[in-house]
Structure 1
Amino acid sequence: MSGRGVLRKLFYKKQHNKDERATEIGMPTNVKQHIHVSKNSETGMLEGLPSSWLRLINTQITPAEQNENPDAAIQAVKFHMYTIKKEKAQDEPFKPFVTEEAITEEDLEIEKLLDKKNAHQSQDSDLSIGQSSEEDVAPNDNFSQRQTMPATPTKHSMKKKDAMMDLTAVVQDLTLIGDESEESPILRKKEMMNAALTDEEVYEELKRICNKDDPYVRFERIKQLGAGASGVVFIAIDSKDNSRVAIKDIDLTKQSKKDLILNEINVLKGFHHKNLVNFLDAFLSYDHLWVAMELLDGGSLTDVVTEVVMKEGQIAAVCRETLQAIAFLHSKGTIHRDIKSDNVLLGMDGTVKVTDFGFCANIVGDEKRQTMVGTPYWMAPEVVTRKQYGKKVDVWSLGIMAIEMIEGEPPYMKETPLRALYLIAAVGRPKIPRWESLSPDFQDFLDKCLHVDVDLRATADELLAHPFLECAMELKTLTPLIKAAQRILHKSYD
């Protein structure tokens, strides 16, 4: 037999045995894979993560910090990369309400992200989730130029096994199951049960719930405030009562998830409160959906905190109004998850309202703050570490917003998002530079907002009864601050 024939025979035999074995064992399901993330005790640096993640960590988190808080560094980069992936994929015109069920789903997505990166290490550059500019920059710090040891043990690294601290993480390995088409019938059945509405069904439902007036006739456009992938936002005059409203004009032909838009409108219609920027009405004209919301002409709280100094009584008033909105949402089983000065809007009379979770995000505020990917500065430690994650994240964020009103910006604002995430996870409660100048009641209020232990942190309802809020000044005292900020920033909503 020729050499080629022998090779063909051997190859056929191997392939035959492989097929037989696969038939007997079957496709693996619900597989768990151990991903070894370790730190080198000699250098203090992490190993075993995807190379692009290690580059990012090593440029922003020192070896000493990695050595002292390795878990915080891992959690920070994992959450940071997930946030970038999520924001780049997001094209919805509304930011969905968050429930504790949604958080559980998010936890699984975050864990799968690390597993996917390791499973496709050979395609690392393609799977770096739209690397941010910070990832594209070559490391230039002294500590970042050191090379970490390879993730796969070599003879050399095995000799140093005793010098390594194993930080093994067990994650769900869904990549071993195969493509979506090879998932188990049970999973496919669940997906079919929860299938999204067709575009035709969405349009029919929108026609049913929307106001029948022609928006192009009813509203007079006054001033455009912003534009993005999800639509155009402008101020308009409602001819029915001559009131000024904010309108988002959404081109439905450009929306890939029309059913989510329908869900959000149904939710917004049921959430009315004096401290929320309330939904007014929706109008459908061919492929354009006009969503009318309350207009607050005082701009965002960000403009005030960055330009003028607030008195404790004014801070107490803003905290009280914001807490009333948070307590209302929590009573409905929802979490805002994005409490910060950018999302608190003011009326010229001092009215304080929390925005409707994304609708007004591109109307007001500093463009740099709004466009920054994955701004983590207001996040509670448990958001990053995924422990005891629930409604009290909003209370922590309120505490950080109170620091904004004291200092003019949140802690770590000058840090990169990844480093800020690391510091939140590693340090926990941030330092407040002007702590000694605060009243005892204000200090106690902040203590109760910023407990790292979620069980010890107050609820929104508990904080509404806190003595600090008794010093709240009248809301109209905010008007001079709003006017001063508008003059400085040359902003007007006329």
Structure 2
Amino acid sequence: MSFYSMFKKKKHREEYNTAAVIGKPTNVNHDIHVTVTEEGVLEGLPSSWVRQIGTQITKAEQNENPEVVKKVLQYYNFSVKKQNHAAQEIKHIFTENDIAEESKQIDLYMKSKDAHKSKDSNLSDDSSDFERSPLNQNPTLDNNLMQIKNLARSVDNLAIDVEEIEFRKPSNSDDDIYLRRSGLSDDDYMRQIRDICNSGNPLDFYEKTLKDLGSGASGMVFAATRRGTGELVAIKDIDMSKQTKKDLLLSEIKIMKNFKHKNLVNFLDAFVVDYDHLWVVMELLDGGPLTDVVTETVMKEGQIAAVCHEVLQAISYLHNRGTIHRDIKSDNVLLGMDGTVKVTDFGFCANVVGNEQRETMVGTPYWMAPEVVTRQKYGKKVDIWSLGIMIVEMLDGEPPYLREPPIRALYLIAANGRPRIMRGDTCSTALQRFIDRCLEVDVDRRATAEELLRDQFLEGRSELRSLTPLIRAAKKILHKN
């Protein structure tokens, strides 16, 4: 048996008014009230949502947990809408203050026309109801009623658009309104961003390599080396003309310049190039993502403890500065060939290495804590839950429910709470207890990062250099040498 085959895993992750005069609508509302029939059918959901359930959530599950189903569909559709409207937006540093705002946005989304619009046609659910109603059985009224219906929809939509101007991702004209409110123009923001960036030419400091690291929603990423030292870095080229919230970008550059920790992929420098392109220089690790190791090799408990210790130090650092990562997973833990462990993908440096192959329409639900969907006591401890799921990755090679579609995965997370671990029975008592403290459904009882750093399990951690053979084996298997 070869050295590399010793480590290799065989499994891979793979209602309308007929009056002729329609006045301005008041109290426009589309609240969704869900009930369950005796047959276990959810009533009150938009028809497009019912179609989404399909075979993913059984009638028995709908009957048992109707509110969970409602929250899952609400969260999923909100997330899809948000992602589609923010396709060119950078990821911003997330704090606990943002949680209440996001919850308000979800509630507002429930009252918007978008929550009732089918993904299969341009007709809203209201229009489908109209076409099935007795009013539509008289053909002499059809044309007039259809005109009234279309006018009502137009006015209705206008009311919602005005109501939601703060919620939706601004278009170019919306961005102008947004900037005028702040008192600063787009040029003003670019001037301030330029003032806090390195005024030099980035090519005088860094030499581009031939390796492109990928492309994200907000720009291209390429590798480079620092002239004089040969230090490997990643440079993200952000097209500022596509960034509508430049005030947030400005504030976050200031924050990131002060974020320095040995277990974070650190911000190194920033340049404005050709007036409207921002080059963000970040550390680059040569060992690749932890994902490669967990999918292709078998990790020992000491190695799992070593990774957890380093990741927890990064989480603790972020939490002490009021920041929540929200996306802890193996893809966002990068390794150095010496076993260095660093967390990435927070703030505007998101996807700095272009690693987006496992992103879904709702983000990455498989590592998501139940309270994110249910919006109950949602705070910093979501990162601890995600760490627990990442431990499951290190044990089983993949997170729970990875082979399930996102909606079903979200339902199982919210309904079941703690997932089953395939190799759970083989774990030591110390590791089982550590996982228990991470995957505690009761947020109040879930451990903090500081508490976990003192846990007995971490006392048995291996040296970081013990990760090097695993990194090399994964690279060999995946032909990444």
Query: Under TM normalisation by the shorter chain, which class is it?
Result: 0.7 to 0.9
Cα distance per residue 1:193-227 (max 9 Å; x no partner): 96374211111112210112101333211121112
Greater Cα shift, 203-212 or 367-376 = 367-376
Give the C-alpha shift of residue 71 in structure 1: 1.3
CA contact (8 A) 1:92 1:261 kept: no
1:226 aligns with 2:223: no
Partner of 2:377: 388
Question: Are the structure 2 counterparts of residues 127 and 318 from structure 1 closer, same or farther at C-alpha, using a change threshold of 3 Å?
Answer: farther
Cα distance per residue 1:165-194 (max 9 Å; x no partner): xxxxxxxxxx7992555899xxx9x97896
Give the C-alpha shift of residue 124 in structure 1: 8.0
Instruction: Give 2:203's aligned amino acid.
Output: Y
Give the C-alpha shift of residue 276 in structure 1: 0.5
Of 191, 202, 226, the match for 1:215: 202
Task: State the secondary structure of the residue aligned to 2:214.
Answer: strand
CA contact (8 A) 2:80 2:361 kept: no
CA contact (8 A) 2:68 2:374 kept: yes
Give the C-alpha shift of residue 260 in structure 1: 3.0
Could you tell me how far apart the structure 1 residues matched to 2:345 and 2:54 are?
Answer: 38
- The alignment of Structure 1 onto Structure 2 pairs a total of residues equal to 425
Matches within 5 A, 1:158-307: 178=159, 195=182, 197-222=184-209, 223-286=211-274, 287-307=276-296
Instruction: Give 1:249's aligned amino acid.
Output: D
Give the C-alpha shift of residue 370 in structure 1: 3.5
CA contact (8 A) 1:177 1:183 kept: no
Partner of 2:4: none
Cα distance per residue 1:228-252 (max 9 Å; x no partner): 4411111111114332211112222
Of 76, 90, 98, the match for 1:80: 76
Could you tell me how far apart the structure 1 residues matched to 2:421 and 2:116 are?
Answer: 43
Instruction: Give 1:36's aligned amino acid.
Output: H
Instruction: Give 2:223's aligned amino acid.
Output: I
Question: Are the structure 2 counterparts of residues 314 and 343 from structure 1 closer, same or farther at C-alpha, using a change threshold of 3 Å?
Answer: same
CA contact (8 A) 1:305 1:405 kept: yes
Give the C-alpha shift of residue 107 in structure 1: 0.7
Q: List runs of 5+ in structure 2 lacking aligned partners.
A: 1-18, 135-155, 166-173
Could you tell me how far apart the structure 2 residues matched to 1:97 and 1:214 are?
Answer: 27
Matches within 5 A, 1:7-406: 35-42=32-39, 44-92=40-88, 94-117=90-113, 125-126=121-122, 178=159, 195=182, 197-222=184-209, 223-286=211-274, 287-357=276-346, 359=349, 361=351, 363=353, 365=355, 368-370=357-359, 373-406=362-395
Could you tell me how far apart the structure 1 residues matched to 2:362 and 2:115 are?
Answer: 26
Greater Cα shift, 465-474 or 76-85 = 76-85
Could you tell me how far apart the structure 1 residues matched to 2:449 and 2:428 are?
Answer: 21
Could you tell me how far apart the structure 1 residues matched to 2:375 and 2:362 are?
Answer: 20
Give the C-alpha shift of residue 290 in structure 1: 1.1
Partner of 1:145: none
Greater Cα shift, 246-255 or 428-437 = 246-255
CA contact (8 A) 1:210 1:283 kept: yes
Question: Are the structure 2 counterparts of residues 374 and 356 from structure 1 closer, same or farther at C-alpha, using a change threshold of 3 Å?
Answer: closer
Aligned identity (percent) is 57
Structure having the higher Rg: 1
Give the C-alpha shift of residue 450 in structure 1: 0.6
Question: Are the structure 2 counterparts of residues 434 and 194 from structure 1 closer, same or farther at C-alpha, using a change threshold of 3 Å?
Answer: farther
CA contact (8 A) 2:47 2:118 kept: no
Could you tell me how far apart the structure 2 residues matched to 1:58 and 1:203 are?
Answer: 48
Could you tell me how far apart the structure 2 residues matched to 1:362 and 1:278 are?
Answer: 11
Task: State the secondary structure of the residue aligned to 2:74.
Answer: helix
Task: State the secondary structure of the residue aligned to 1:224.
Answer: strand
Task: State the secondary structure of the residue aligned to 1:377.
Answer: helix
Q: CA RMSD in A?
A: 3.1
CA contact (8 A) 1:49 1:118 kept: no
CA contact (8 A) 1:329 1:336 kept: yes
Q: List runs of 5+ in structure 1 lacking aligned partners.
A: 1-10, 129-149, 156-174
Question: Are the structure 2 counterparts of residues 99 and 240 from structure 1 closer, same or farther at C-alpha, using a change threshold of 3 Å?
Answer: same
Instruction: Give 2:81's aligned amino acid.
Output: K
The alignment's TM-score, normalised by the length of structure 2, stands at: 0.81
Question: Are the structure 2 counterparts of residues 477 and 386 from structure 1 closer, same or farther at C-alpha, using a change threshold of 3 Å?
Answer: same
CA contact (8 A) 2:88 2:242 kept: no
Matches within 5 A, 1:457-476: 457-476=446-465
CA contact (8 A) 1:376 1:421 kept: yes
Task: State the secondary structure of the residue aligned to 2:365.
Answer: coil
Could you tell me how far apart the structure 1 residues matched to 2:251 and 2:123 are?
Answer: 31
CA contact (8 A) 1:403 1:409 kept: yes
CA contact (8 A) 1:28 1:176 kept: no
1:485 aligns with 2:474: yes
Partner of 2:9: none
